[in-house]
Amino acid sequence: MSRYRGPRLRIARRLGDLPGLTRKSPRRAYPPGQHGQNRRKRSEYAIRLEEKQKLIYNYGISESQLLRYVKKARRSTSSTGQALLQLLEMRLDNTVFRLGMAPTIPAARQLVNHGHVTINGKVVSIPSYQCKPGEEISVKSKERSQEIVKTNLQYPGLANIPSHLEFDKNKLVGKVNGVVEREWVALQINELLVVEFYSRKA
């Protein structure tokens, strides 16, 4: 499955609030489609599938990417679910979004892809790059890059910057001080159900 490029509010109506995908709130509180208002009881598989879909749509990753992250999280010494969320949260596109440089994760990915973001002074154009503690994330010194980020900072996607990050709005420089903690993950998700969903594949 490639990255989703369709209507975002349709996904938000089906899966609930996805802060990384869109800032808009759906006007209707029920899922889209002819039978959206009278959904039957969901099976255990459907519940796990929905949790997995939340990660895919919120972080803008493909099915194969998520499977790789799950396999990598399984090899870690900490809880698999927590390690999975940390891997996704420490992606460069998500970190740029959490610093407030972009209103959504897709917008942050575009900033990174177009070479507007630097790490320790070097341009990094790979959205899936894993940010490490001690790294400095800044905006390229070009006037166009600075203008885009300054405009985005007026309307950030999330109000609060997580405790593992710090950001200087005047210099447009952010710093990674550590690894994200579970309570700072903005997405409402039960990561254990995702791990269970992939238990046979990973």
Tokens of 99: 């610093």
122: its two tokens = 């070097």
Tell me the pLDDT tens digit for each residue of 95-110: 999 998 999 899 999 9
Higher local confidence (pLDDT), 7 or 49: 49
Domains and CATH numbers, the chain: 8-87+186-197 (1.10.1050.10), 92-178 (3.10.290.10)
Residue-level pLDDT at 118: 93
State residue 167 phi and psi, 5-degree precision: -145, 130
In percent, the amount of the chain with pLDDT more than 90 equals 41
Give residue-wise pLDDT tens across range 12-48: 776 777 776 776 666 666 565 545 555 667 788 888 9
The two tokens of residue 4 are: 């989703």
Residue 152 to residues 16, 17, 31, 157: CA-CA distances in angstroms?
Answer: 24, 21, 30, 9
pLDDT of 143: 86
Q: From 111, 79, 80, 83, select the one nearest 95 (Cα to Cα).
A: 111
